[in-house]
Structure 1
Amino acid sequence: MKVAIVTGDSRGLGQAIADKFLNEGIHVIGLSRTHNDTLKEKADQKGVTYSHIRCDLSDSNDLTQGIDKVMYLAFQNDIEKVYLVNNAGVIDPIETVGQLDASLVNKHFQINVTTPILFINRLLKEADEQGVNVGIINITSGAAEKTIHGWSIYGSGKAAINQFTETAAMEQEKAGSEHFIIAYSPGVVDTDMQGEIRAAAESAFADVDKFKKLKEEGQLRSPSAVADVLMKLLSEEESIDNGRVYKLYDLIDQ
């Protein structure tokens, strides 16, 4: 039996990834603030289970309880493999340094950095204790490697996740573990987050018109198409380069 844990599964890329796992006959545990009825319907059609944990990842107590509930569900049966997709994320605050809102900065790092780190830490502990193999995918961004006006917080958080991914993978290899931990950069995807980006003021984000143009010209990829590329990568698990930051554009060119 295989299980996939997907954070931020209620919409966008998270929903698409959860849907793809269900298509593969893999049981899904979703974690987000809102429930997605279509995923439950898909699970019923495929003869697998979809469990949802309602959780506000910006609240540290809610996060701790949510992780506890997810781990209980993930390891209560005869498990062969557990996947974890750290997808949940926010873009705010989009603002220049000197004008940042402290509360938004704290919320951002809680969701985009602290949450995936704590999930990975707990999952590896549980998996090792129970002898279960895991595959971890952290959703990252090209912003981790670029200097983008107004995106100091988002880019810094994703850079932190990339570094954490590489370090955790190195530690697992030194320990002789078969777990894999990678990051996946999906490019520009047509999600609600893109709508938030396009709504930013030019004073806060100088490149806002560029992102508006991408939408107008139909250059945004659908969440489903981006999820398909990830699933193809996971289907060739034996060739996965542990610790690597995979970029959608490189995978499409292959």
Structure 2
Amino acid sequence: MKYAVITGASKGLGAAIAKRLIHEQISIVSVSRTENKEIKELALENDLYYKHYSCNLSLENEVQEVFMEIAHSLFQKEPHEILLFNNAGVVEPIETVGNLDQTPIISNIQVNLIAPILISNLFFNKAQSTNTKVQVINVSSGAAVRPIEGWSVYCSAKAGINMFTQTAALEQVELKTNNTIIAFSPGIMDTNMQETIRSSSKTAFRDLEKFIEYKEKNMLLAADVVADALVDLVLSGNVESGKVYNIKDLLE
């Protein structure tokens, strides 16, 4: 049996991934501050295991405690495979360097980079003494490979998650495990993060008008379209561990 652990599963891409996986008869562990009742009901309607954990990913101790509990619970079930979607992310602070506040800087790095590293490390560790394959999917961004004014912290964190993914993949090959780890750049989606971006100030974010135009001209990708492409890849059995996948390539 397969289980999927999804951070940020209550809305946006995370919720869309969860719904698609339920249709594929994969059990769901949802991790977010609030629970999406629709996902819970959908899982129960399909007679699938479902559990929600509330977790603030910006708090290191909470991440460790919650995911230790999740890992212990799932590996006890001796599943064939665990899919780990490190999807949760925050774009704030949107501000130029020299005008940044300390608290949102730390929170951004904790959520976008440190939490995925801690969670991946924990699941790979637990997998060492089992026959369970772990497949990690780290949601990255186009901002990982190009500088965007006002997004210095977000760009840096996402660049970090790409490098972590590539390095961890090399290590798993050396250890001769069946585990895989990839990064995935989902493009510009119609989600709450885009609302946050559009509500920023022109002085902090020079490309503000461009992102407003994306919305006005219906240029944003629907979350379910992106989720379908990602899940198709993950379930294909043809994942290249260490690769940073881009939604544009998957939709061609």
For 1:215, the aligned partner's letter is K
Question: For residue 83 of structure 1, what is the aligned residue in structure 2?
Answer: 83
CA distance in 1, matches of 2:43, 2:31: 16
Percent identity, please: 41
What aligned pairs does 1:117-156 form with structure 2 within 5 A after superposition?
A: 117-156=117-156
The answer (yes or no) to whether the contact 1:31–1:66 under 8 Å persists in 2 is no
Task: Please state if 1:39 is matched with 2:42.
Answer: no
The one-letter code sitting in structure 1 at the alignment partner of 2:241 is N
Partner of residue 192, structure 2? 192
Counterpart code for 1:71: A
**Post-superposition shift, 1:225?**
0.6
The answer for the alignment partner of 1:183 in structure 2 is 183
TM-score, normalised with respect to structure 1 = 0.97
Find out whether 1:242 has 2:241 as its counterpart. Answer: yes
Q: Aligned runs of 1:215-230 on 2, under 5 Å?
A: 215-230=215-230
Q: Distance in 1 between matches of 2:241 and 2:59?
A: 31
- RMSD across aligned C-alpha pairs, in angstroms? 0.8
Specify the code of the residue in structure 2 equivalent to 1:247: N
Q: Higher mean Cα deviation, 151-160 or 172-181?
A: 172-181
Q: Distance in 1 between matches of 2:7 and 2:70?
A: 10
1:66-81 maps to which residues of 2 (within 5 A)? 66-81=66-81
How far does the alpha carbon of each residue in 1:135-173 deviate from its partner, in whole angstroms, 9 at most, with x for none?
Answer: 110000000011111010000000000000000000101
**Secondary structure in 1 aligned to 2:129?**
helix
Number of residue pairs the alignment of both structures matches: 252
Q: Structure 2: how far apart are the matches of 1:120 and 1:35?
A: 22
Larger displacement relative to structure 2 (226-235 or 113-122): 226-235
Stretches of structure 2 lacking an aligned partner (at least 5 in a row)? none
Contact kept in structure 2, 1:95 and 1:150, CA below 8 Å: yes
- Contact 1:29-1:74 at 8 Å conserved across structures: no
Structure 1 CA distance for aligned equivalents of residues 63 and 170 of structure 2: 26
Q: Which runs of 4+ in 1 moved over 2 A?
A: none
CA distance in 2, matches of 1:176, 1:78: 20
**Aligned residue for 1:208?**
208
Q: CA shift at 1:38, angstroms?
A: 0.5
Task: Look up the SS of the partner of 1:129 in the other structure.
Answer: coil
Q: Which amino acid aligns with 2:23?
A: N
Q: Deviations over 1:148-206 (max 9, x none)?
A: 11010000000000000000000101111111100010000110000000001010000
Secondary structure (helix, strand or coil) at the match of 1:75 reads helix
**Distance in 2 between the 1:20 and 1:127 partners?**
25
**Contact preservation (8 Å) 1:19, 1:39:** yes
